[in-house]
Amino acid sequence: MEEKILEIVRKCRSFLITSHIRLDGDAIGSELALYHALRRMGKKAVVYNEDETPEAYGFLPGAEEIVHTLDLPERFEAVFVLDCSELDRVGKEAARIGKIGRVINIDHHISNNGFTEWSIVRPAAGSTGEILYGLIRKMLGTVPTEVAVNLYGAIMTDTGSFRYSNTGSETFRIAGELVAWGADPRWIAEKVYETKPLVQVLLLGKVIGTLKVCFDGQLGIVHVTRRMLEDLDALPEHTEGFVDMIRTIQGIEVAAIIRELPSDACKVSFRSKDKVDVEKIAGLFGGGGHVNASACTIPGPLGEVRKKVIRAVGKALP
């Protein structure tokens, strides 16, 4: 399949690159790495995302080039859909994007069943950036610094700074090579993890105040209301990393954060340690992701959703 995709890259001149709504570091880093690689080959490339780029990833090379309105998708010869387990996850433009002649999907989510004939799906990979590294090496024969920085950011964030169970020897090998190609681990980590706006810290204080621990300390659950965000003039992206902090509590096997959406629904993110597959829990509500990191959207008011989440996690705990 990799050779078929490389043949499309060689033949086509114009590419759209996109990823899922509610962007993370793997999505943006992978998009921008591919964008720079295609541009290096003399191709026309546009990165489109429905959502704005989270502030934490604004430093990535090329982030300022991302567009958020899709103009005339038919002018593209091919589209790369990255880090998406299904086409609908790109958002409201999914149908128009799906009509582009060649849809190429590169992903590592276990819930991906392959929605296009041109797919590379490797659930064992730590990130989509990890998969893209090999493809870009074959495209260019080298890895320019701007590509290395974006791929390192993608891999670092989706493996939880190389701490999650999706981190393998291949992850470290590729990360090491990216450092040799010019990625600065200290600088990238500082930009992502150590440059927090004050509003995010203030919001964390409010969210921690909602912490509830259940099932003899095995589940830690918090929530974020629309009122909290409004009072601080905060954005949903400012909740990133909160659920990981809950998971660090001693004895916790599953951490969950519930965020009220503008509609009558809530976004739920799960994290787990070793004993619980949260991808299966998210799947009960139509979501998905990874064994230790998954998410879903559940209709209903926050209180009702909270009860459903606690009940589902309780059934999954050993």
Q: 156-179, pLDDT tens digit by residue? A: 999 999 988 889 999 999 999 999
Q: Using a CB cutoff of 8 Å and minimum separation of 24, what contacts does 175-179 make?
A: 177/133, 177/143, 178/133, 178/143, 178/148, 178/151, 178/152, 179/148, 179/152
Between CA 55 and CA 120 the distance in angstroms is 29
Instruction: Give the count of domains, the chain.
Output: 2
**216 and 178 together in one domain:** no
List, for residues 202-218, the tens digit of each pLDDT value: 999 999 999 999 999 99
**161 and 229 together in one domain:** no
**143 and 225 together in one domain:** no
Q: For 220-240, what is the mean pLDDT?
A: 96
Within 10 angstroms of residue 266's Cβ, the number of other Cβ atoms is: 27
User: The domain containing residue 130 runs over which residues?
Assistant: 2-193
**152 and 222 together in one domain:** no
**The model's pTM:** 0.89
**133 and 210 together in one domain:** no
* pLDDT recorded at residue 77: 97
Domain stop point among 145, 172, 193: 193
List, for residues 13-67, the tens digit of each pLDDT value: 999 999 999 899 999 999 999 999 999 999 999 999 999 999 999 999 999 999 9
Transcribe 30-81 into DSSP letters.
Answer: HHHHHHHHHHHTT-EEEEE-SSPPPGGGTTSTTGGG-BSS---GGG-SEEEE
**127 and 250 together in one domain:** no
Distances (CA, A) of 44 to 11, 15, 199, 316: 12, 6, 38, 48
Percent of the chain with pLDDT over 70: 100
**267 and 161 together in one domain:** no
**75 and 172 together in one domain:** yes
**50 and 161 together in one domain:** yes
**46 and 24 together in one domain:** yes
Distances (CA, A) of 255 to 14, 149, 217, 307: 43, 30, 10, 14
**45 and 14 together in one domain:** yes
